[in-house]
Chains A and B, each alone.
Chain A
Amino acid sequence: MDLELKNIKKAYGEGESRQEVLRGITFELEAGDICVLLGPSGSGKSTLLNIIGGIDTADSGSVTIGDHTVERMTDRDLSEYRRDHLGFVFQSYNLIPNLTVRENIEVGAYLSDDPLPLDELITTLGLWEHKDKMPNQISGGQQQRTAIGRAIVKNPDILLCDEPTGALDYSTSKEILQLIETVNHKYGSTVIIVTHNDALKQMADRVVILKDGRVTETYRNETKIPAAELEW
């Protein structure tokens, strides 16, 4: 499912405290791409991700995903849209504390009429041995794997990842990035990763660099480096 952003603008506050976060973002993304949205803190990348995900609204501009124009959707349509097409992964894992790993993933599966086979996915995520554990019984990396599992089990068209490795150490971060890569390859989901880690741009098909709410650079990688080989 292709993604097209046209002149997205967003500001917070009013009067003197008004702050323009996005100042006209335009770019396109092809279905199945891995896109890395790169930029320093405050550059507007998370806001942009939220607008794409329909959990925040742009002041102007349009977001088109396949046939859907996000800004024209009602609240109810947006819920349906997110339910049917999007998966979210955040820096904090936001798992349900009194559900097991498997049950947390089932929470995602419930949203789809045709979820991915659960056991196969849990194996792919490397969580088979931990599937019956509670979140507080597994490591941060395993919790993030569970969160990814919950997001992709419904086989979303687009997987939106906001700083997915922000709270993880180097080796765990690489494991998570490899997993995202695997998901992209295996299930064909378009993946958008928001990060301030410059090294991640090498694993992307499309790189969009933001600064002060503007796209300063965007390009397609001719050759990608697998996540396992990334260094930072």
Chain B
Amino acid sequence: MTSKGRKNRKPNPLMKRIPRELRKDLGKYIVLFLFLTLMIGFVSGHMVADGSMFKAYNDSFSKYNIENGHFITSLKLTDRAIGNIEDEDVKLCELFYKDKMLTKDKTIRLYKIREEMDLADVMEGRLPEKEGEIVIDRLFAENNEIEVGDSMTIDKKELKVVGMVALSDYSALFKNNSDMMFDATNFCVALVTPEQFRDFSNAGLKYCYAWRNNNQELTESEQQTKAEDLMGVVYENALDGADISYGAVIWNSLMGSFPGADYEELDVTSGEKPLQDYVSRQDNQAIQFTGDDMGRDKIMFQWFLYIIVAVLAFAFAITTRNTIEQEAKTIGTLRASGYTRKELLVHYITLPVIVTVAAALTGNILGYTAFKAPMAAMYYHSYSLPTYTTVWSAEAFFKTTVIPCLLVIAVEVLIVGRSLSLSPLQFLRRDLKRHRQSRAVKLPDISFKRRFLLRVLLQNKSTYVLLFAGIFFASFIFLFGSLFAPLLHNFKDNVQESKICDYQYILKEQVETEDPDAEKYAVCTLKNENGEDITVYGIQKDSKYVDMKNIGGASGDGVILSDGYLDKYGLAEGDEITLKEEFNSNRYSFRVQGEYKYPAVLCVFMSIDRFNKMFDMEEDYFSGYFSNRELKDINETDVATIITEKDLTVMANQLEDSMGLVFYMFLVFAVVIFLLMIYLLARLITERNTYAISMLKILGYTDREAGRLYNSATLVMTVISFILSGVLGIAGIRGIYYVMMRAFTGWLTFYVAPWGVPLLIVTGIACYFFVSLIIMRRIRRIPMADALKDVE
């Protein structure tokens, strides 16, 4: 076939339609543009803040000489011991601290100003220069409304706050590494001058030593291996020069992560514990949690964006498909005249792509300017991060500009391309159904209005499928936003109801109390197959705190599990679980014999006799007391920790504090998507039926009657979509929640507030009625003349 040749590359005159189409549907495109811009700006801002913050976080390891790990000894190390440890190609640094109570609930951990390792980033003010001055963690200060210049009273000494700092070894304010969650409201780290530090009593003093590898080029796994090797050396030298020996392994295993099994190989001969804590950087939640959480957030926001863009791309495509239907005969003529599918495809997808590209670029500019600071503030509100500088992120640009644009193009090409794949003759005949329907769907003998409604539903099947998809997705966001606060409240209520006692003492030494309210118990921590800490309790027979009637004696393998444990891992009565000691091969298998309502902790209950037998303890061994009263006759130095209700709800409180604002944002965002989807699709249905509405008016239908005939179908589908989305959404969220929570330490019982789904439906219907007001305005404006003209 010969052709006249195609040198012609003039601009396609069809493109002159673009600005006119834009003007014609300006409102629609502005709404879509703004929505996409805000969404992309929000995610871009988050990615920029996340990337910049993550870089600052990573850089802080070298910038502030962050430790490769630390350990706490019972006694101060001798120079010889320090020398022996440093021979392992590490540098040791004293990071002694004193934990002091600020108030009944708040603990402050005091350090001397650091000069070698774990240096402070002074974010406001200056470091202390003399006695009576203190710098405190910026986030704790923010949460407690403390400002530079304020005074704090610690141990009856008044100190002036002269600065706010971020300590990268406490980017997440975990008081103990075994805590379920950090607590930036009730736990603070602070620096004072060495003189001031000495001036405080030694109560709560910890001989903490941080180490830093001389070779900073080691990989993560090499660092971890080195930390494990170093532990033996530390252990051997921890009691150097002292006439003391090996003690309660079980207590140690509770306090940190170091291997009980290796103890037997060590030559320690008397009653003192050599090590109280040993934590490598990789195992240190106070250091690692922030980085891990940032990574999780980034992935979540990224997918959030893609799903929204995909939904909008479908909305764009369906709108375009509607235009193609309306212009079918013109398209047929153009195709018959020689316009190719590709030329028409490019024409029809140009406007959506332009809007997306413009939104992506504007969103990115906003991301780097207006949105970056609030996103960074979100991190600063959760974590004690050092000062960051904005880093240009090609990845953020790619993910928030290139991918959304490609996504829109892909969806448009797929749907619009498919619409345009019909033959010119089919367009000319307006025969746009891919599969010809032999005859109209027969409807039951019902009233005219109902049949009309069903016809509208059948005519707009694909539009309503998209409406459902959009509503379903937004409902997911809505439910996440609306259900999380009640879930946390419910959890806290449950903890309140099911707590074992008001004061759960864990002792360093087996000391007796005269308090008749106190009841002895034994406890240790093992790891489950997922590497999560499981607390194992040995409980007195006929315990007044834990109802253990069905637990049996010391024989058999049956144990009672807390409902939190059962729930998190989907366990049931009769299942077998295997727990192991962290650093050796000792494994313990148990059969689940029952459930105990104790959602706050993942734990296993057995009788104390069986506990002591299983872990080779003396018959009368115990490691703590349950009590509903404070035990006055126990010396503070003999107490490792006291677990109160506050400790059990710290995770819920922290989540509530750091995520509260995000959940409200989710709600607002979801409502915007509801409005947008309902508006776009209701408008599309009205546009598609302009001729019919015009004709109805000619026949004598009022605007309201004509509008109702079409809008009622949308109302029905909206309500059905919201009901289905509510039911499916809850099921989906439950699934995601269980997967998501397994990544966290601890457990929050899944709970759906009874008003969750009704609230979603009511909000959805309210959105519909708001949109229907706008649509009715459009219907009123449809002139009757439209039905009398055949102008395309």
Chain A residues close to B by CB (< 8 Å): 50, 53, 55-56, 67-68, 73, 77, 79-84, 86-88, 90, 92-99, 103, 106-114, 135-136, 143, 147, 150-151, 154, 167
Given known A-B contacts A80-B3, A108-B337, A110-B10, A92 and B17 have beta carbons under 8 A apart: no
Residues of A within 8 A of B333 (CB): 88, 90, 94, 147
CA distance A93 to B327 in the complex (A): 12
Residues of A within 8 A of B6 (CB): 113
Q: Does B330 contact A (CB under 8 A)?
A: yes
Residues of B within 8 A of A56 (CB): 425
Q: Are B4 and A94 in contact (CB under 8 A)?
A: no
Q: Are B16 and A103 in contact (CB under 8 A)?
A: yes
3 A-B pairs with the lowest CB-CB distances in the bound complex, closest first: A83-B338, A106-B13, A94-B333
Q: Which of B330, B335, B789 makes the CB contact (< 8 A) with A95? A: B330
A55 to chain B, nearest CB (A): 4
- Contacts A/B (CB < 8 Å), 16 sampled: A55-B423, A55-B425, A79-B339, A84-B3, A84-B338, A86-B337, A90-B428, A96-B330, A96-B792, A110-B8, A111-B339, A113-B5, A135-B791, A136-B791, A154-B337, A167-B790
B710 to chain A, nearest CB (A): 22
Q: Are A82 and B338 in contact (CB under 8 A)?
A: yes
Q: Which of B17, B337, B340 makes the CB contact (< 8 A) with A88? A: B337
Q: Which of A68, A93, A98 makes the CB contact (< 8 A) with B1? A: A68
Residues of A within 8 A of B707 (CB): none
A192 to chain B, nearest CB (A): 14
Q: Which of A67, A83, A93, A110 makes the CB contact (< 8 A) with B2? A: A67
Q: Does B635 contact A (CB under 8 A)?
A: no
Residues of A within 8 A of B329 (CB): 90, 92, 94
Closest to A76 in B: B340
Q: Does B20 contact A (CB under 8 A)?
A: yes
Q: Are A98 and B24 in contact (CB under 8 A)?
A: yes
Closest to B339 in A: A111
Q: Are A97 and B791 in contact (CB under 8 A)?
A: yes
Closest to B21 in A: A98
Closest to B12 in A: A110
Q: Which of A50, A82, A97, A113 makes the CB contact (< 8 A) with B792? A: A97
Q: Does B424 contact A (CB under 8 A)?
A: yes
Q: Are A151 and B1 in contact (CB under 8 A)?
A: no
Q: Are A103 and B13 in contact (CB under 8 A)?
A: yes
CA distance A81 to B336 in the complex (A): 10
CA distance A95 to B332 in the complex (A): 11
A53 to chain B, nearest CB (A): 6
A90 to chain B, nearest CB (A): 6
Q: Does B334 contact A (CB under 8 A)?
A: yes
CA distance A167 to B13 in the complex (A): 27
A142 to chain B, nearest CB (A): 12
Closest to A82 in B: B338
Q: Are A96 and B337 in contact (CB under 8 A)?
A: no
Q: Does B7 contact A (CB under 8 A)?
A: yes
Q: Does B699 contact A (CB under 8 A)?
A: no
Residues of A within 8 A of B330 (CB): 94-96
Q: Are B13 and A82 in contact (CB under 8 A)?
A: no
Q: B704-744 CB contact bits vs A (8 Å, 1 = yes)?
A: 00000000000000000000000000000000000000000
Closest to B425 in A: A55
Interface positions, chain B 683-714, Cβ under 8 Å from A, are none
Known: A99-B17, A103-B13. 19 other contacts (CB 8 A): A50-B425, A55-B332, A55-B428, A56-B425, A73-B1, A79-B339, A81-B1, A83-B339, A86-B338, A94-B332, A96-B792, A97-B791, A98-B24, A103-B16, A110-B8, A110-B14, A114-B4, A135-B792, A151-B337
Q: Are B424 and A55 in contact (CB under 8 A)?
A: yes
A119 to chain B, nearest CB (A): 15
Closest to B330 in A: A94
Interface positions, chain B 769-792, Cβ under 8 Å from A, are 789-792
Q: Are A113 and B1 in contact (CB under 8 A)?
A: no
CA distance A23 to B254 in the complex (A): 95
A18 to chain B, nearest CB (A): 15
B423 to chain A, nearest CB (A): 7
Residues of B within 8 A of A143 (CB): 791
CA distance A82 to B24 in the complex (A): 32
Q: B629-660 CB contact bits vs A (8 Å, 1 = yes)?
A: 00000000000000000000000000000000
Q: B28-71 CB contact bits vs A (8 Å, 1 = yes)?
A: 00000000000000000000000000000000000000000000
Closest to A113 in B: B8
CA distance A168 to B4 in the complex (A): 35
CA distance A150 to B336 in the complex (A): 12
Q: Are B3 and A96 in contact (CB under 8 A)?
A: no
Residues of B within 8 A of A147 (CB): 333
Q: Are B17 and A96 in contact (CB under 8 A)?
A: yes
Given known A-B contacts A55-B424, A98-B20, A150-B337, A107 and B13 have beta carbons under 8 A apart: yes
Residues of B within 8 A of A53 (CB): 336
CA distance A110 to B17 in the complex (A): 15
Closest to A67 in B: B2
A122 to chain B, nearest CB (A): 14
Given known A-B contacts A95-B792, A98-B21, A98-B24, A79 and B16 have beta carbons under 8 A apart: no
Residues of B within 8 A of A73 (CB): 1
CA distance A68 to B4 in the complex (A): 13
Q: Are A96 and B1 in contact (CB under 8 A)?
A: no
B11 to chain A, nearest CB (A): 8
Q: Are B5 and A82 in contact (CB under 8 A)?
A: no
B374 to chain A, nearest CB (A): 41
Residues of B within 8 A of A98 (CB): 17, 20-21, 24
Residues of A within 8 A of B10 (CB): 110
Interface positions, chain B 423-475, Cβ under 8 Å from A, are 423-425, 428
CA distance A230 to B690 in the complex (A): 40
Q: Are A92 and B790 in contact (CB under 8 A)?
A: yes
CA distance A90 to B20 in the complex (A): 26
Q: Are B338 and A107 in contact (CB under 8 A)?
A: no
A92 to chain B, nearest CB (A): 6
Q: Are A113 and B338 in contact (CB under 8 A)?
A: no
Closest to A102 in B: B13
Q: Are B791 and A82 in contact (CB under 8 A)?
A: no
CA distance A88 to B333 in the complex (A): 7
A125 to chain B, nearest CB (A): 17
B648 to chain A, nearest CB (A): 66
Residues of A within 8 A of B14 (CB): 96, 99, 107, 110
Interface positions, chain B 322-369, Cβ under 8 Å from A, are 327, 329-330, 332-340
Residues of B within 8 A of A84 (CB): 3-4, 338
Residues of B within 8 A of A77 (CB): 1
Residues of B within 8 A of A109 (CB): 13
CA distance A18 to B371 in the complex (A): 66
A205 to chain B, nearest CB (A): 24
Q: Are A88 and B336 in contact (CB under 8 A)?
A: yes
CA distance A99 to B554 in the complex (A): 90
Q: Are B8 and A82 in contact (CB under 8 A)?
A: no
Interface positions, chain B 494-541, Cβ under 8 Å from A, are none
CA distance A112 to B13 in the complex (A): 13
Q: Are B337 and A87 in contact (CB under 8 A)?
A: yes
CA distance A111 to B337 in the complex (A): 8
CA distance A55 to B335 in the complex (A): 9
CA distance A108 to B339 in the complex (A): 9
A164 to chain B, nearest CB (A): 13
Residues of A within 8 A of B327 (CB): 96
CA distance A195 to B790 in the complex (A): 21
CA distance A94 to B339 in the complex (A): 14
Q: Are A107 and B334 in contact (CB under 8 A)?
A: yes
Residues of A within 8 A of B20 (CB): 98-99
Residues of B within 8 A of A88 (CB): 333, 336-337
CA distance A111 to B343 in the complex (A): 11
Q: Are B792 and A94 in contact (CB under 8 A)?
A: yes
Closest to B2 in A: A67
CA distance A192 to B425 in the complex (A): 18
Residues of B within 8 A of A55 (CB): 332, 335-336, 423-425, 428
Q: Which of B12, B424, B425, B792 makes the CB contact (< 8 A) with A92? A: B792
B323 to chain A, nearest CB (A): 11
Closest to B4 in A: A84
